[in-house]
Amino acid sequence: MRYAAITDRLAGLGGAKWAVHARARALEASGRKVIKLTIGEPDVPTPPALIDIAAASMRAGRTGYSNGRGEAGLLRALAARYTARRGRSFTPAEIMCFPGTQTTLYAVMMAMVGPGDEVLVGDPMYATYEGVIAATGARMVPVPLRPEAGFAMRATDIAARITPRSRVIFLNSPHNPTGAMLSHADFAAIGALAKQHDLWVLCDEVYEDLVFAGTAFASPLDLPDLADRVVTAASISKSHAAPGFRSGWCVGPAEFMARLLPLAETMLFGNQPFIADMTEAAIAEGSPIAVGMTARFARRARLVTEKLNGVAGLRVHEPKAGMFALVDVTAINPDGTAFALALLEEKSVAVMPGASFGTALKGWLRLSLTEPDDMIEEACRRIAEFAAEHHA
């Protein structure tokens, strides 16, 4: 049988990156207790008040068809949120709602590029970005995020890789998996490049509400002179511990949204109205749990640093936001995937190999900070023990 080219472009870019997590689940099913530091899922349940709103909305009959752009109340709430946070006015015409950030990024990328185009994206990157780009037929151009620069994207590194085929600078701040943050100055420098070469700037901001103390959040939407070329994406998955509700959105130029609308209608023709009602309340009232999550993740990041940095050659990169910490294991094994698989088998600790997030992290591990403190500490003890046993 014949298949569409997209199936070849996406081959190997799905669940294969999560092989260590799948192996950990299989070991658990066989009866072994495993400390899983693989998945970035909030460490608290969805606030009951939001679930009550969704349930009440369903009982009230909000279970019918919606529209391709989003429910009016949610669009107004998002416009008010971004107007308050970004220092300039936004309207519902500059917003579109989707089921989660992943669907948002897929749709936005499909509207920005096609076969033969190039997308500049930081390496390391979130595990699905490569697939989002490949689905369009465009070519991914990795831009190294350097440990010595705190893994922050640098305009000079982007500039060195721009070609006549470049169309999009794809950013993520706060960044997964590194927890790096871009500043206003960073966005201004990157934005100047985008203007010079007529490029889009797409920024995934899903971790905006999980920024650690001492660091200020910045967005390319803060810069009015970039308004015609910036699109950002976010959701309530992290901020409100509601990943299963799949409720996200994008913000950008009204003309872009008008062109994106037929694609959104072709894909989905609307989200669930009862989830939109819940999301509207979440946006209007803010998150009652984000502050607590942020404090816990920051504390656990410091704990990982205290327990692992410098042990048997290990080196920890402490994040500025998000729910992950990175550990450089190159001194023990330059192949982080082999390290992670052996760690799981010998010590029953599951972590993500850095290679799942790009070639730049081949000798690194990503540790989720979403387990309780005592579990994080025990995992670190086992990792340190494993590293000492295998250190040359």
Specify the pLDDT at position 217. Answer: 97
Domain boundary among 251, 285, 319: 285
Domain boundary among 285, 314, 330: 285
Q: What is the domain count for the chain? A: 2
Same domain, 62 and 188: yes
Integer Cα distance of 262 and 104 in angstroms = 14
Mean pLDDT of 147-168: 97
Phi, psi (degrees; rounded to nearest 5) at 146:
-90, 135
Same domain, 186 and 332: no
**Dihedral sign (CA 180, 38, 36, 44):** positive
> Longest Cα pair distance anywhere in the chain, in angstroms?
65
Structure tokens at 102: 């992943």
Same domain, 244 and 327: no
- Give the domain extent around 52: 48-285
DSSP reduced 3-state for 144: strand
Specify the pLDDT at position 330. Answer: 96
Same domain, 272 and 300: no
Specify the pLDDT at position 392. Answer: 63
Integer Cα distance of 330 and 258 in angstroms = 48
User: 310: part of which helix (H) or strand (E)?
Assistant: none
Same domain, 363 and 268: no
Domain boundary among 285, 301, 322: 285
Q: Decide if pLDDT at 363 tops 90.
A: yes
Is residue 18 very low, low, confident or very high in pLDDT (cuts 50, 70, 90)?
Answer: confident
Same domain, 36 and 115: no
Q: Is residue 391 within 8 Å of 331, Cβ to Cβ? A: yes
CA distances from 133 to 8, 87, 142, 181, 378 (A): 13, 31, 11, 22, 38
* Radius of gyration of the chain, Cα coordinates, nearest whole angstrom: 21
CATH number (domain holding residue 99): 3.40.640.10
Nearest Cα to 357, choosing from 24, 172, 13, 123? 123
pLDDT digits (tens, 9 = 90+) for 267-320: 988 889 999 999 999 999 999 999 999 999 999 999 999 999 999 999 999 999
Same domain, 105 and 213: yes
Helix/strand/coil percentages in the chain, nearest 5? 50, 15, 35
Same domain, 238 and 371: no
Q: Decide if pLDDT at 15 tops 80.
A: no
Same domain, 196 and 299: no
Structure tokens at 162: 């721009």
What predicted TM-score, i.e. pTM, was given to this entire model? 0.95
pLDDT digits (tens, 9 = 90+) for 195-214: 999 999 999 999 999 999 99
Q: Is residue 382 within 8 Å of 348, Cβ to Cβ? A: yes
CATH number (domain holding residue 332): 3.90.1150.10
Same domain, 123 and 163: yes
Exposure string over 112-123, b if 16+ CB within 10 A, otherwise e: bbeeebbbbbbb
Structure tokens at 344: 């799981």
Q: Decide if pLDDT at 14 tops 80.
A: no
Residues forming beta bridges with residue 97, ordered by sequence position: 249
Least confident of 15-29, 153-167, 310-324: 15-29
Residues forming beta bridges with residue 202, ordered by sequence position: 170, 231
**DSSP output for 322-372:** SSEEEEE-TTT-S-HHHHHHHHHHHH-EEEEEGGGG-GGGTTEEEEE--S-
Same domain, 59 and 187: yes
Same domain, 222 and 88: yes
Query: What are the residues whose beta carbons fall under 8 Å from the beta carbon of 267, sequence distance 6 or more?
Result: 103, 107
Mean pLDDT of 73-95: 97
Specify the pLDDT at position 391. Answer: 83
**Dihedral sign (CA 250, 253, 254, 257):** negative
Integer Cα distance of 355 and 374 in angstroms = 27
